[in-house]
Copies of this chain bind each other. A is one copy, B any other.
Amino acid sequence: MQNSDTTEDVKMAIQKNFQKMGEAMAKGDLGLLASYFTEDALLKFSGKEPIQGRVGITKAHQEMLDRGILVKPETTEVQSFGEMAYEIGTYQLVTSKNEKIDSGYYATIWKKVDGNWKIFRDIISSTAS
């Protein structure tokens, strides 16, 4: 195992994580979904109070699942610093019929825990007012 991933390694790890997170949502496996966040992750949606920890993160994703909302993230930039990295990206929230509900930007701080990149901080800024 390398001690220090390159930015390119992290970019690929993030894309793979997003794919796996999408699959976990599609299966309704929210325990798996939550495992892509650190135990103490902070998740801040626009227009909501922040959520900290996997219990709250699971609940928030359950609500999205119940409402049939899918998240489509797209990475704009990544830079890695050993065991941590930041990512800036854009996102869309869509219905199962691919109708756009919301879109905006996010900043994610990724942290490598036991060899796996996990979401540590996720600050989401909607473009819609």
Contact = CB atoms under 8 A, between A and B. Distances in A.
Interface stretch (A11-19, A31-39, A56-64, A79-87): A79-87
A125 B45 contact: yes
Contacts of A10: none
Interface of A: 42, 44-50, 79, 81-82, 84, 86, 88, 104-107, 109, 121, 123-129
Q: How many copies does the complex hold?
A: 2
A46 B81 contact: no
A82 B80 CA distance: 12
A71 B52 CA distance: 25
A48 B121 CA distance: 22
Contact of A81 (B81, B106, B124, B129): B81
B88 A46 contact: no
Contacts of A109: 86, 88, 107
B47 A128 contact: yes
A88 B107 CA distance: 10
